[in-house]
Amino acid sequence: MTIVTRFAPSPTGTLHVGNIRTALHNWMWARAHGGRFLLRIDDTDAERSEERFVDAIRADLAWLGLHPDAEERQSARFDRYQAVFEQLRDAGHIYPAYETAQELDLKRKILRGRGLPPVYDRAALALTEADHARFAADGVRPHWRFKLDRATPIVWDDLIRGPQQFDAATMSDPVIRRADGSWLYMLPSAIDDREMGVTHVVRGEDHVTNTALQLQMFAAMGAPPPAFAHEALLTGAEGKLSKRLGSLGVDALREEGIEPAAIVSLLARLGTSQPVEPHADPAPLIAAFDFAHFGRAPARFDERELAQVNARIVHQLSFDAVADRLPAGMDETTWLAIRPNLETVAGAAEWWRVIEGPVDAPAAPDDAGYLAQAAAVARDLDWSSDPWHALTAALKEATGRKGKALFLPLRRALTGLDHGPDMAALLPLIGRERAVARLDSKAGA
């Protein structure tokens, strides 16, 4: 059996972290088994769906490296939904109902007031042909409900949550089509999964009840259902749902300098028993991906952890991988020298300014004489080998300074900072002329 997964976003907005995690896990499961990963644009809501969001979804997935093997659009499949709808209606699995939203809300309130679950009473099933004719004569069009089989327990073995069981008698027959003829999510999704050969559906635990309902739709269509894996939802680092997670999208992450490999590395392991590790290449993550590692505890997303993973990813990136994002003139030697001190690739620009200058170093009047001596030594150094260690060795012998007193004034004068890349790697990049000029400047020369 070829494994087929799908990611099915609605193009009513851009992808956020939770969507990305769902897409990633579907992609990883397919790749881990040599299967196929489908992108299905669920654009049945014509009023809210926008083409710009379709383009954004494609671009975001491409940036993350989650390339689908095929793309489908629900808006191109209305004829298929209609055909199956008619089959199910004729077989008695779908029935028309006419209650308004206000009438249904009143029914729910009455049931809750009696301490009963707010389950639809199926009053529409008692309507006569004359009743239907009267509604039609009055111009009232029905919405359509899927009739659940209340005599059969709904059971499945979830790949993450384990054995699941629902009693259809405690559930309302779901509305699958509005009175204006537009489709709701449930039935078109089940039809697509059947006809596209989807074998595994990976989604959030907020869809568990939907799965129970859709399993009966698969049965009504005479189709075997896919396997389901319902993941714990993402929460913020503080342990509760965060509004920011709902708006934190690829654009925001990209603007913060987050690498796609960092997002993949973190989200691949969130909610599992496996440690989060930085992988510039997703192959090890794919090879180890298994739903057996997932737990039911909330999966905590921490932006600080993402930033840490990102820094570790940046430290692995080759010059060729980042060359087009580096300041003009920066070569591989410079990149390798500053890379261990970067949190983002964009941070390379700051270090390029340190190398190229000018440097705004803090005033150090007490060190003026020391820096003048350092400038004199620097002028006469052999810069072809290791000027930093030659400079500090000569100054240590001449002044008796050591440790912080020896190194910090030099670093401040040469870079304008108290910390940064290894000076042994950085000083040759600054070069003799600029180094001597900076030392002279801070010495008051």
Helix count (H) and strand count (E) of the chain? 20, 12
Structure token digits, residue 99? 């209650």
Q: Which amino acid is at 232?
A: A
Between CA 433 and CA 414 the distance in angstroms is 11
Q: With 0-12 CB in 10 A as exposed, 13-18 as middle and 19+ as buried, what is 256? A: middle
Distances (CA, A) of 175 to 65, 170, 299, 310, 360: 37, 16, 32, 45, 67
Q: State whether residue 143 is helix, strand or coil.
A: strand
Give pairs for 351-354: CB < 8 Å, separation 24+. 351/420, 351/421, 352/326, 352/327, 354/415, 354/416, 354/417, 354/420, 354/426, 354/430
**Backbone dihedral region of 318: left (phi > 0), alpha (psi from -120 to 50 degrees) or beta?**
beta
Between CA 95 and CA 147 the distance in angstroms is 7
243 is in an annotated binding site: yes
Q: Where are the alpha helices (DSSP H) in 178-242?
A: 186-195, 208-221
Between CA 390 and CA 296 the distance in angstroms is 59
| Cβ atoms of residues 17 and 50 within 8 Å | no
* Angle, in degrees to the nearest 10, between helices 368-379 and 403-415: 70
* Residue ranges of the binding site: 243
Residues that constitute the known binding site for ATP: 243
